A and B are shown apart, each in its own frame.
Chain A
Amino acid sequence: MSAIRLPRHLLSAGDLSRDEALLVLDTAEELAQLADRPIKKLPTLRGRTVVNLFFEDSTRTRTSFEVAAKRLSADVINFSAKGSSVSKGESLKDTALTLEAMGADAVVCRHSASGAPHRLAHWIRGSVVNAGDGTHEHPTQALLDAFTMRRRMGRLEGLHVAVVGDVLHSRVARSNTLLLSTLGADVTLVAPPTLLPVGVDSWPCAVSYDLDSVLPKSDVVMMLRVQRERMHASFFPTTREYSRRYGLDARRMANLPDDAIVMHPGPMNRGVEIAAEVADSVRSTIVEQVANGVSVRMAVLYLLLGGALDEEVGA
């Protein structure tokens, strides 16, 4: 393997070249073995400080990053800025200055505003890992999704992946579309016209309004969470109609090719975008996506922090 280096920040899945993305997946493959070992710890990031900066609640993602960092022996600081004392727009820069004082080598940032990690990257010395910013991106989610697909299906090149649901508001959809096309998969977005962004034609994917015609050709179906509140802004008339036209129920699942898998980034709206029996079926990768998340995040943290940092190298 030649010396591939990740960019300093991981803000968008589109930042990764094909080689860089494969490096993350291959590294994660190696690190996944750790889960089966008696000692689930490596000394590599000892002395590095990773800060989990979560402005938006997400126990699952935060815990996943925390476990990943701790398994690499890094020091983890959980900085939860959610709460009434912190008002919108007042704290990001102040928080950045506090992080600098703490000597954070990496900041894992989740925020409700698209672009917040980009601003943070301007103000701190360490690496910023985007753990989900508004409706923009969630790069480590896309990486763990790709990792899961590759493990289950044996390949990514030429795989037919359908991403179904509220694409307009989904950071998972954006990151996955970018990463999967970089890795050679064929992505089709399926949604009602109201939930597709103007400008989606410029994305490296196909678009369809008709779920039933896409399913028989799909190797992977990724269901996105749809929020009931969207009904009130007239994105769709009722959850009943949404479910009928775009929900993955048992009948539709039977129309999938035999070895097709079903994925969901979570949390699920059982009964809206995905039926309970589908979520619990053998096709579903929802549980292993969680375990894979730790391996992938370990890989990302290792590749960002495991060598000399910019200021440590003379050149």
Chain B
Amino acid sequence: MTPAQPSGLRPDHGTERPVSGDPAVARPVLEEPDVGRALTRIAHEIVERNRGAGDVVVMGIPTRGVTLARRIRERIVAVEGVEVPVGSVDATMYRDDLRLRGVRPLEETEIPAGGIDGRVVVLVDDVLFSGRTVRAALDALSDLGRPRAVQLAVLIDRGHRELPIRADYVGKNLPTSLRETVHVLLRETDGRDGVLLGPADLGRPPTADTEEAAR
């Protein structure tokens, strides 16, 4: 997959711009170091809340959720020194909006060795918005096994929940208007880390791997 390059951006490292800036430009709300720190903090919170990582299984929601899950897991392993299983759960087949668009290609579901029965599953996604994707992922999980508990970790919570879903671990709370878009960039897929907030039409055509279109 080629890294998607957002168009019309003026990178502005460091300086916090006022919200009422040029609407044609997306502004960064998290820079590269911020992303790393947020993930580290989340990893520590997971360990703290679950009193260690013995029971924990980290499951990412494709696509960027999987990348984040792996990074969180690496940090947990570094902190606790124990093996933490990691996997992915594709929610596509359980979405409630399938009939609204053309058919979506499937992503990968990978159940780690040892399964999820009786474990604490930490679901990981990049952006929490309406909550529907997480709801679908929860349904997918329940067909894969019976975790003891499911917790949710997200890099960004941008508000506007349409279902009673909340995250247990949040990288950054980012109040947004519905007209705005949130773009998460990750080194592994996009060449650099960052979170951008922009107007509705940024020139990047909505595709299946643009999380915004999925919400």
A residues adjacent to B (C-beta < 8 A)? 1-6, 23, 26-27, 30-31, 33, 37-39, 41-44, 302-309, 312-313
Contacts and interface: CB of A to CB of B under 8 A. Distances in A.
A283 B46 CA distance: 49
A6 B105 CA distance: 11
B125 interface: no
Contacts of B105: 1, 3-4, 23, 26-27
Contact of B109 (A33, A41, A304): A33
B98 interface: yes
Contact of B143 (A23, A26, A39): A39
Contacts of B209: 1
A37 B105 CA distance: 21
Nearest to A41: B143
Contact of B94 (A33, A43, A302, A308): A43
A308 B90 contact: no
Interface string B91-120: 001100011111111111100000000000
B101 A42 contact: no
Contacts of B104: 306-307
B98 A307 contact: yes
Interface string B126-162: 0000000000000100011100000000000000000
Contacts of A308: 98-103
B207 interface: yes
A37 B94 CA distance: 16
Interface residues of B, number: 22
A307 B103 CA distance: 4
Given A42-B93, A43-B93, A27 B98 contact: no
A33 B90 CA distance: 12
Contacts of A305: 103
A37 B143 CA distance: 8
Contact of B106 (A27, A43, A304, A307): A27
Contacts of A41: 143
Given A30-B90, A43-B139, A3 B99 contact: no
A26 B92 CA distance: 15
Nearest to A302: B103
Contacts of A31: 106
A1 B208 contact: yes
A38 B99 CA distance: 27
A42 B208 contact: no
A270 B108 CA distance: 40
Contact of B103 (A5, A37, A42, A43): A5
A2 B143 CA distance: 28
B205 to A, nearest CB: 10
A307 B90 contact: no
Contact of A37 (B100, B101, B108, B144): B144
A9 B62 CA distance: 30
B102 A3 contact: yes
B101 to A, nearest CB: 6
Given A39-B144, A305-B103, A309-B99, 18 more contacts: A3-B102, A3-B105, A3-B208, A5-B102, A6-B103, A30-B90, A30-B108, A31-B106, A37-B144, A39-B143, A41-B143, A306-B93, A306-B103, A306-B104, A307-B101, A308-B101, A313-B101, A313-B102
A247 B3 CA distance: 52
22 contacts: A1-B208, A2-B207, A3-B102, A3-B207, A3-B208, A4-B105, A26-B105, A26-B106, A27-B106, A30-B90, A30-B106, A37-B144, A41-B143, A43-B139, A44-B93, A302-B103, A305-B103, A306-B103, A307-B99, A307-B103, A308-B98, A308-B101
A162 B52 CA distance: 57
